[in-house]
């Protein structure tokens, strides 16, 4: 028997035969994320543990047979994160319990395989929120995926990325002992998981945004906030195509409205016009606008405070932008709505814009930039598209600056976007080339990416972004938790401790 078969038999003894498989139809079902540049990749086996002890035992067996492992939550990754060619794919979605909602001490405890949809549905009736309410993929994406991808979602303008609401984790280290540890205040075996700092160095951070390279997260301790009941949404179109103005206005809104600002996103003019052309309201079909759209959600604990926020917003926007009615998207909406929680809107708004052209899927290049550089980055993105337009997949839209911009705390914007690629074998190599090239160009103008799955983390290495000292530190940390380098080895080109990643550096012109 091969070592894979031996390992499969032993894992069967841990999870039971219903929860591990090497059947082809299951391997095929788990062979893709939403990413057109990657081929179908079949794991040697899929395993679905139910407890932290089972995860620990699986890790021990993987180490015994030196088989690589990749963790998977909802599999909604866009950058080749939760798929593996060969090895053990560990699907964590059976670990989906909400274990504690502690309203007294403002924290919750969940298993990492629970989806955002399930969590938010449970929390909403209580009047409490985790602040960030998960990504556009939140019907299937999990808390573990959010922590590992440093995901942003509804509420991130105010509350930050998913790791920013994390108070600690329970994690299985990928070492031969399958060590289980807890971080944050939970590292004190006598303490509740109520805060992140004050017991030990912040080892939680080691596992945040790690794309499943440093450990397998099994439980998360997250912040809880009161959900302010008064919310209002407003849209404004700028009087001209000026992204420096977007910076100035965002800065002012952040400064003057401060914690009353829940979400702020920006849609480029051409995309607003594309959406408007589909509008059921006739007057919007040929919308003439001159600048991008700013979509703003405000919130407050009192109606009078919300009214003050709205007055301030009106004043900030009056000389540079015009209000636009929400009826453009949906005639049933108010022109300027009071906002109510709605699971459908929360998780489905994104689907329409993630892949605006049928048969094309975004090879996502979402990255963060400081807001003051927005005008400059706008030009760099357009210049890149013009220079390499012949390498873009035919029919994609090279000239679009971003499919959306999303404001985060501390003065940075996520530039959401990518290259539309066809999900067919004949195009995968050229898709992958232009995807990496574009990502490298973003790394070199100082962009900080969002998710670090295979395509993005490898491109950062290829762009030669890390100093030798940093890279050595990274490898040493990885070796400490994963001495056999078995967990997610393709990410960052970290195939082994000895492996020379510098051979992947690409010198673009
Ligand atoms: C339609 C659509 C909309 C999206 N909207 C957004 C958005 O608004 N914001 C955003 O940031 N992203 C978005 N994404 C990207 C992605 O869905 C999110 O980043 C999401 O958080 C991934 O969660 P998941 O559970 O599906 O993770 P997976 O895809 O399963 O995994 C993501 C990464 O985390 C690792 N991982 C997963 N679980 C664990 C664990 N328990 N322990 C250790 N490592 C783990 C995996 O190995 C992988 O590298 C979107 C994707 C789609 C398809």
81 C-alpha to ligand 1 centroid (Å): 8
pLDDT confidence of residue 354: 53
The percentage of the chain sitting over the pLDDT mark of 70, rounded to a whole number, equals 96
The confidence band for 273, taking pLDDT boundaries of 50, 70 and 90, is: confident
**Per-chain mean pLDDT for the chain:** 93
The confidence band for 461, taking pLDDT boundaries of 50, 70 and 90, is: very high
**pLDDT at residue 356 above 70?**
no
Query: Which long-range contacts (C-beta less than 8 Å, at least 24 apart) are formed by 27-32?
Result: 30/72, 30/75, 30/83, 30/89, 30/91, 31/83, 32/83
Q: Is 228 in the pocket of ligand 1 (CB under 6 A)?
A: no
Q: Is 83 in the pocket of ligand 1 (CB under 6 A)?
A: no
Q: Is 88 in the pocket of ligand 1 (CB under 6 A)?
A: no
**pLDDT at residue 422 above 60?**
yes
459 C-alpha to ligand 1 centroid (Å): 19
Q: Is 135 in the pocket of ligand 1 (CB under 6 A)?
A: yes
pLDDT confidence of residue 94: 98
**pLDDT at residue 351 above 60?**
no
Q: Is 265 in the pocket of ligand 1 (CB under 6 A)?
A: no
**pLDDT at residue 294 above 90?**
yes
Separation of alpha carbons 313 and 315, rounded Å: 5
Ligand 1 atom closest to the Cα of residue 212 is 44
Over range 432-458, report the average pLDDT. Answer: 96
32 C-alpha to ligand 1 centroid (Å): 13
Over range 147-175, report the average pLDDT. Answer: 97
129 C-alpha to ligand 1 centroid (Å): 20
In this structure, which residue's CA is closest to atom 45 in ligand 1?
212
For residue range 58-104, list pLDDT tens digits in order. Answer: 999 999 999 999 999 999 999 999 999 999 999 999 999 999 999 99
Over range 357-371, report the average pLDDT. Answer: 84
For residue range 303-332, list pLDDT tens digits in order. Answer: 999 999 999 999 999 999 999 988 887 777
* Backbone phi and psi for residue 182, each to the nearest 5 degrees, phi listed first: -125, 145
pLDDT confidence of residue 341: 66
Over range 233-259, report the average pLDDT. Answer: 95
Over range 452-481, report the average pLDDT. Answer: 98
442: Cβ contacts below 8 Å, ≥ 6 apart: 365, 367, 449
Ligand 1 atom closest to the Cα of residue 34 is 53
**pLDDT at residue 352 above 70?**
no
Can you tell me whether residue 221 is helix, strand or coil?
strand
**pLDDT at residue 357 above 80?**
no
pLDDT confidence of residue 456: 98
Can you tell me whether residue 37 is helix, strand or coil?
coil
Separation of alpha carbons 455 and 435, rounded Å: 8
């Amino acid at each position: 028997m091969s070592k894979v078969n031996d390992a499969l038999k032993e894992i069967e003894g841990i999870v039971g035969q219903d929860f591990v498989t090497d059947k082809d139809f299951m391997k095929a079902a788990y062979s893709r994320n939403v990413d057109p540049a990657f081929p179908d990749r079949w794991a040697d086996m899929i395993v679905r543990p139910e407890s932290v002890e089972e995860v620990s035992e699986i890790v021990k067996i993987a180490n015994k047979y030196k088989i690589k492992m990749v963790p998977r939550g909802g599999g909604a990754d866009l950058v080749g994160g939760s798929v593996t060619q060969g090895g053990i794919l560990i699907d964590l979605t059976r670990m989906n319990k909400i274990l504690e909602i502690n309203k007294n001490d403002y924290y919750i405890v969940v298993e990492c395989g629970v989806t955002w949809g399930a969590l938010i549905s449970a929390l909403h009736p209580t009047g409490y929120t985790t602040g960030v309410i998960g990504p556009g993929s939140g019907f299937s994406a999990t808390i573990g995926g959010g922590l590992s991808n440093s995901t942003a979602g509804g509420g991130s303008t105010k509350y930050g990325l998913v790791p920013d609401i994390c108070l600690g984790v329970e994690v299985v280290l990928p070492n031969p002992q399958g060590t289980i540890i807890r971080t944050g205040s939970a590292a004190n075996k006598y303490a509740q998981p109520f805060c992140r700092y004050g017991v030990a160095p912040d080892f939680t951070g080691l596992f945040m945004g790690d794309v499943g390279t440093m450990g397998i997260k099994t439980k998360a301790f997250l912040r809880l906030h009161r959900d302010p009941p008064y919310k209002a949404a407003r849209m404004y179109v700028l009087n001209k195509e000026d992204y420096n103005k977007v910076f100035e206005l965002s800065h002012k809104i952040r400064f003057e409205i401060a914690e009353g600002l829940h979400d702020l996103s920006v849609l480029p003019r051409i995309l607003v016009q594309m959406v408007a052309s589909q509008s059921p309201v006739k007057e919007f079909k040929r919308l003439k606008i001159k600048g991008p759209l700013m979509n703003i959600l405000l919130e407050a604990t009192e109606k009078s405070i919300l009214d003050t926020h709205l007055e301030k917003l009106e004043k900030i926007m009056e000389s540079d932008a015009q209000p636009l009615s929400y009826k453009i998207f949906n005639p049933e909406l108010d022109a300027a709505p009071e906002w109510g929680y709605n699971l459908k809107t929360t998780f489905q708004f994104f689907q329409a814009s993630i892949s605006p052209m049928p048969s094309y899927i975004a090879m996502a290049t979402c990255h963060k930039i400081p807001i003051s550089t927005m005008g400059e980055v706008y030009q760099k993105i357009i210049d890149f598209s013009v220079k390499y337009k012949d390498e873009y997949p035919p029919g994609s839209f090279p000239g679009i600056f971003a499919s959306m911009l999303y404001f985060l705390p501390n003065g940075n914007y996520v530039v959401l976007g990518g290259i539309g690629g066809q999900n067919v074998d004949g195009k995968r190599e050229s898709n992958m080339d232009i995807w990496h090239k574009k990502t490298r160009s973003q790394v070199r103008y100082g962009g900080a990416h969002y998710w670090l799955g295979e395509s993005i983390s490898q491109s950062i290495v290829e762009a030669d972004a890390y100093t030798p000292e940093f890279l050595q530190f990274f490898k040493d940390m990885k070796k400490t938790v994963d001495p056999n380098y078995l967990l997610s080895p393709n990410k960052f080109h970290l195939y082994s401790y000895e492996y020379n990643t510098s051979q992947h550096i690409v010198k673009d012109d």
